[in-house]
Chain A
Amino acid sequence: EDKVVQSPLSLVVHEGDTVTLNCSYEVTNFRSLLWYKQEKKAPTFLFMLTSSGIEKKSGRLSSILDKKELSSILNITATQTGDSAIYLCAVPPNAGGTSYGKLTFGQGTILTVHP
Chain B
Amino acid sequence: NAGVMQNPRHLVRRRGQEARLRCSPMKGHSHVYWYRQLPEEGLKFMVYLQKENIIDESGMPKERFSAEFPKEGPSILRIQQVVRGDSAAYFCASSPQNRFFVNEQFFGPGTRLTVL
A-to-B contact residues, CB < 8 Å: 31-32, 34, 36, 41-45, 48, 88, 90, 92, 98-108
User: In the complex where A42-B4, A42-B108 touch, is A101 in contact with B41 (Cβ < 8 A)?
Assistant: no
Residues of B within 8 A of A (CB-CB), count: 28
Q: B72: CB under 8 A from chain A? A: no
Judge whether A101 and B55 touch: CB under 8 Å: yes
Sorted nearest first, the 7 A-B pairs with minimum C-beta distance are A99-B56, A101-B48, A42-B107, A41-B109, A105-B43, A107-B42, A102-B45
Q: Which of B56, B58, B109 contacts A42 (CB 8 A)?
A: B109
Judge whether B91 and A43 touch: CB under 8 Å: yes
Q: B25: CB under 8 A from chain A? A: no
User: In the complex where A41-B110, A104-B45 touch, is A98 in contact with B105 (Cβ < 8 A)?
Assistant: no
Provide the main secondary structure of the chain A interface.
Answer: loop
Judge whether B91 and A102 touch: CB under 8 Å: no
What are some 29 contacts across the A-B interface (CB < 8 A)? A36-B107, A42-B4, A42-B91, A42-B108, A42-B109, A44-B107, A45-B104, A45-B105, A45-B107, A88-B43, A98-B56, A99-B55, A99-B58, A100-B99, A100-B100, A100-B101, A101-B31, A101-B33, A101-B95, A101-B99, A101-B105, A102-B45, A102-B48, A102-B56, A102-B58, A105-B35, A105-B44, A107-B41, A107-B42
Judge whether A103 and B107 touch: CB under 8 Å: no
Of listed A92, A100, A105, residue having the most chain B CB within 10 A:
A100
Which residues of chain B are near A101, meaning CB under 8 Å?
A: 31, 33, 48, 55-56, 95, 99, 105
Of listed B42, B56, B107, residue having the most chain A CB within 10 A:
B42
Judge whether A48 and B56 touch: CB under 8 Å: no
Which residues of chain A are near B44, meaning CB under 8 Å?
A: 105
Which residues of chain A are near B8, meaning CB under 8 Å?
A: none
Which residues of chain B are near A106, meaning CB under 8 Å?
A: 42
A104→B44 CA distance, assembly (Å): 7
A95→B41 CA distance, assembly (Å): 27
A46→B107 CA distance, assembly (Å): 12
Which residues of chain A are near B35, meaning CB under 8 Å?
A: 103, 105
